[in-house]
Amino acid sequence: MSDRKITIEYNDHVVRQFLLACILWGAVGMLVGVVVASQLNFWRLNFDLPWLTFGRLRPLHTNAVIFAFVGNMMFAGVYYSTQRLVKARLASNFLSQLHFWGWQLIIVAAAITLPLGFSRGKEYAELIWPINIAVALIWVVFAVNFFWTLARRQERALYVAIWFYIGTIITVAMLYIVNHLSIPTSLLHSYPVFGGVQDALVQWWYGHNAVAFFLTTPILGIMYYFVPKAAERPVYSYRLSVIHFWSLVFVYIWAGPHHLLNTALPGWLQALGMTFSLMLWAPSWGGMLNGLLTLRGAWHKLRTDPVLKFFAAAVTFYGMATFEGPLLSIKSVNALAHYTDWIVGHVHAGALGWNGFMAAGMIYWLLPRLWNKPLYSTALANLHFWLGTFGILLYVAAMWTSGITQGLMLNATTENGTLLAYPNFLDTLNAIRPMMLFRVLGGGLYLIGWLLLAYNAYRTLLGAKAVNGTIEVFVADKPAEERLGLGAMVLNPPVIFSVFGTVFACAWMFGGDFLKLAGLFGTALVILLAWVHFRTRISRWAAWYDRLLLNALPFTILTFLAVAAGGLIQIIPTTLVNRASNVEGRRQLPYTPLELAGRDIYISEGCFNCHSQMIRTIVPDVLRYGDYSRLGESIYDHPFQWGSKRTGPDLARVGGKYPNLWHYRHMKDPRDVSPGSNMPNYPWLFTQDTDVAALPAKLAAQRTLGVPYPEYKGDELTALVNAQANAIAADLKAAGASVEPGREIVALIAYLQKLGKHEVIAPRLPVAP
């Protein structure tokens, strides 16, 4: 064995780049957030300009905060801590730079395309397909750079932070790719391959786990590095780390359907979504406990150290948000809270409190170390903390009040529950309008706090010289006994018990009569055996896990298996099931070409940000919007537009509810027909022409996806479009509003009037044996 002593200089250059980008994009993302929140109060702030309208800016806000702000923060934190935790410089300078500049380019591309109305119409997955490919490629660059660094590590064992980073990288890759599978119709437009309920399931499997694996696990990893460093305390419990890491990554992925409770989603998926969300509470709190009790020993330093203040508050908000999440996943609570501001408040408690404060704490801790100069002003950092905390308080209080008020009003009935107390949606909207103003105040304070951080960073950097960390290590050969082969990876008690337990549990959940019973007993038996084995042979479990920690590849594979299970079990049955038969007695009529064009306008304008198209299986929804939505009614929707927020009313059955004239006036100025509405004006729809030329390509893509469109020959398509458009224009003219039939507004009206139209098909007859 030949031990050599070498000096490693860490690549802190790329850390600094990501750090500064995080500060910049954080400010941009929050600023756009304050703007869109203001637009909800003052509709004039939409300025009647397409690219400044709420529906287009809201995706910009969410994407900027998630992918630009937290993304850059994550990369800075991951790169800084990983190098030190594995005692190796980042594997490739080139890949690091490619990662940084590629990511920034993606952000800029997103910031340009989203306001221009290029959207895929799925939340947090709005970016168009060329950017999707770029994101996937850069993510692979990140993964290669990371795992290559792990391969060159001088520190054999993997610290808990690294586990979380590994979980993040593989899971985000899996989620992102599956949810972005699309068929392009042009350079800027595509249709998702999934439609209707399948798209809904895939979208929220992705959407929920974007929160889990983009906003939570990497930040937990960062917490496990920076909190003990800043507190100068040992981590509270390694065992807790082990249990909460594995339970978190395994359970989190299943909980996606809780975004679709009480909808047309099949009941078994809703049951999984709700129960796994409740099970998620303990694993989440395991992380909080570990962070909090690590800080415990340094509690007296909270008074003076802003970094610890931010961390302590962040961990607290993480605890609050992860307590609220399971609560909101209970079906009856969800019936009240879903689609309201309560959910908005919930995510912001996480985003502002957990992500924002973790970022701030990390930045204040890193600045002096990366530039070798004390922080310019601790007082300013403290002020930032107080402003931020107060901002969150204002914001969350406003959203709770607003959400609960509106939820109760929407669900209020009179006459023994037979009539809605507030049949007009606007009555409920106007009751919560003031809360929207307070939310701007809260968000504004938070933004000011962030600007103070930016200023503090700027003053710290003035005249400072960047320094890279170095370390001296002894290079040691890897002892053979540490290596974990494929066999040893799989054939060991924890993995065997987990695999058998999962298989039996699946058999129990999905099997037929006999299989069900066998599964139940099998599961019980496995649990019993595992318990006994764990009790008697605990040292074997521990020894195997210690060995696993020395082997990055097996660890990664096992993590992947753990996160893949939930998605596979939920999504595969849903995609395999025969679409045509899974319609609950109703099938959507395919959109006419003009309606399809109108639908693309609806998506492009981001209408889904405020309007759902899903009447839930709860009484107030049915009383207000009509019969509940069936699976078959969105079968041809690529993408689905069930929505997740009702700033305005549900539109699933709006077709035929109002005359064309109503929609015409409403899109011109919503307040003309809906006094007190906060919806923007859409004047450009009255001057822009519908993109009929794109229709053949779009129809071809839809045909590929299984939507029954005939092949249109020659002028058939144009004639069809014109006939429908002319009819609408003529109807409008008769009512006193004249418009060219080729305008976008006509296509949009055609689409809106189509919503809820379906054919009733005979229920499937039981197949004779």
Partner 1 sequence: MNPNKPHQELGEDPIRHHVFDGIAEYDRRLPNWWLVTLYAGIVFAIVYWMATEHFGRSSNESRLDAEMQRIEAEKLASSASAIDDATLWKMSRNPVFVEAGRATFQSTCASCHHAALTGGIGPNLVDTTWIHGGSPINLLKVVNEGVAAKGMPAWGPVLGGKKVSEVVAFVLSHHTPPAAP
Partner 2 sequence: MQPPAAPRPNRDFVTTIREDGSRLFLHPADARGRWTTARRWSAWVLIVVYLLLPWIPVGGHPAVFLDIAERRFHLFGFTLAFQDTWLMFFGITGLGFSLFFITSLLGRVWCGWACPQTVFLEHVYRRLERWLEGDAQARRKLDTQPWTPAKFIRRGGKQVLFFIISAMIAHLFLSYYVSLPQLWSMMHANPGEHWASFVFVFVFTSILYFNFAWFREQLCIVICPYGRLQSVLVDDHTLNIGYDAQRGEPRGKVGTPDAGACVDCNRCVQVCPTGIDIRQGLQIECIACAACVDACDEVMTKVKRPRGLIRYDSVAGFVGGRTRWLRPRTVFYTLLLAVGTAVGTWALSTVRPANLAITRLQGSPYFVTDEAVRNQFLVRIVNKRDVPVRFVITLPGAPAELVRTGMDGTVELAPLAEEVRPLIVQMPRKTYAGEFTLNVRLADAAGTFTLEKPVRFVGPDKGFMDEETHEKRDDSKKEKHEERDHQHDLKEREKHQYP
Query: Hey, is 574 helix, strand or coil?
Result: helix
**What is the distance between the alpha carbons of residues 18 and 29, in angstroms, rounded to a whole number?**
15
Residue 724 — φ and ψ, nearest 5°?
A: -65, -40
Give least dist CB 230 to partner 1, A. Answer: 11
Rule CB under 8 A: say whether 333 interacts with partner 2: no
For the window 303-322, what string marks contact with partner 2 as x by the rule CB under 8 A? xx----x--xx-xxx-xx--
Instruction: Provide the residue type at 631 as one letter.
Output: L
Rule CB under 8 A: say whether 246 interacts with partner 1: no
Query: Hey, is 578 helix, strand or coil?
Result: coil
- Burial 123-150, CB ≥16 within 10 A → b, else e: bbbbbbbebbebbeebbebbbbbbbebb
Among 52, 661, 700, 705, binds partner 2 (CB under 8 A): 661
CB 344 within 8 A of CB 323: no
Question: What are the distances in angstroms from CA 38 to CA 150, 393, 435, 440, 756?
Answer: 46, 18, 11, 6, 32
Give least dist CB 698 to partner 1, A. Answer: 33
Only segment of 210-218, 283-291, 575-583, 753-761 that touches partner 1 (CB under 8 A): 283-291
Only segment of 75-83, 250-258, 269-277, 298-306 that touches partner 2 (CB under 8 A): 298-306
Query: Hey, is 642 helix, strand or coil?
Result: coil
Only segment of 172-180, 191-199, 230-238, 597-605 that touches partner 1 (CB under 8 A): 230-238
Rule CB under 8 A: say whether 297 interacts with partner 2: yes
Nearer to partner 1, 92 or 247 (CB): 247
CB 552 within 8 A of CB 150: yes
Q: How far is CA 213 from the centre of its chain?
A: 9
**The residue to which tokens 């960062």 are assigned:** 222
Rule CB under 8 A: say whether 369 interacts with partner 1: no
Rule CB under 8 A: say whether 229 interacts with partner 1: yes
Rule CB under 8 A: say whether 292 interacts with partner 2: yes
Rule CB under 8 A: say whether 393 interacts with partner 2: yes
Rule CB under 8 A: say whether 342 interacts with partner 2: no
Among 419, 491, 528, 723, binds partner 1 (CB under 8 A): 419
Rule CB under 8 A: say whether 434 interacts with partner 2: yes
Instruction: Provide the residue type at 659 as one letter.
Output: P
Rule CB under 8 A: say whether 415 interacts with partner 1: yes
Rule CB under 8 A: say whether 241 interacts with partner 1: yes
Q: In this structure, what DSSP letter does residue 349 have?
A: I
Only segment of 281-289, 338-346, 456-464, 722-730 that touches partner 1 (CB under 8 A): 281-289
User: Per CB under 8 A, which of residues 145..204 are in contact with partner 1?
Assistant: 155, 157, 159-160
Q: In this structure, what DSSP letter does residue 335 have?
A: H
Half-sphere exposure for 681 (CA within 13 Å, toward CB): 14
Query: Hey, is 277 helix, strand or coil?
Result: helix
726 binds, among partner 1, partner 2, none (CB under 5 to 8 A by kind): none
Give least dist CB 96 to partner 2, A. Answer: 35
Give least dist CB 418 to partner 1, A. Answer: 5
Distance separating the N- and C-terminal Cα atoms of the chain: 72
Rule CB under 8 A: say whether 675 interacts with partner 1: no
Give least dist CB 281 to partner 2, A. Answer: 12
**What is the distance between the alpha carbons of residues 315 and 286, in angstroms, rounded to a whole number?**
11
**What is the distance between the alpha carbons of residues 357 and 317, in angstroms, rounded to a whole number?**
9
Beta bridge partners of 470: 9
Nearer to partner 1, 53 or 674 (CB): 674
Instruction: Provide the residue type at 304 as one letter.
Output: T
Binding-residue total with partner 1 (CB under 8 A): 55
**What is the distance between the alpha carbons of residues 207 and 640, in angstroms, rounded to a whole number?**
14
Instruction: Provide the residue type at 72 as one letter.
Output: N
**What is the distance between the alpha carbons of residues 66 and 317, in angstroms, rounded to a whole number?**
17
Only segment of 333-341, 560-568, 626-634, 661-669 that touches partner 2 (CB under 8 A): 661-669
570 binds, among partner 1, partner 2, none (CB under 5 to 8 A by kind): none
Other CB atoms closer than 10 Å to residue 724's CB: what's the count?
Answer: 19
Nearest 5°: the CA angle 466, 472, 477 is: 135
**What is the distance between the alpha carbons of residues 495 and 250, in angstroms, rounded to a whole number?**
13
**What is the distance between the alpha carbons of residues 343 and 324, in angstroms, rounded to a whole number?**
10
Among 22, 90, 618, 728, binds partner 1 (CB under 8 A): 618
Rule CB under 8 A: say whether 743 interacts with partner 2: no
Only segment of 92-100, 299-307, 516-524, 761-769 that touches partner 2 (CB under 8 A): 299-307
**What is the distance between the alpha carbons of residues 288 and 127, in angstroms, rounded to a whole number?**
33
- Contact residues for partner 1 (CB under 8 A)? 81, 84-85, 87, 155, 157, 159-160, 225, 228-229, 234-241, 243, 247, 262, 267-268, 270-271, 274-276, 278-283, 285-286, 289, 414-420, 423, 509, 516, 617-619, 622-623, 628, 659
- Contact residues for partner 2 (CB under 8 A)? 43, 234, 285, 289, 292-293, 295-297, 299-300, 302-304, 309, 312-313, 315-317, 319-320, 382, 385-386, 389-390, 393-394, 397-398, 400-402, 405, 408-409, 412, 421, 424, 426-427, 430-435, 438, 657-659, 661-662, 665-666, 669, 671-676, 678, 683, 735-738
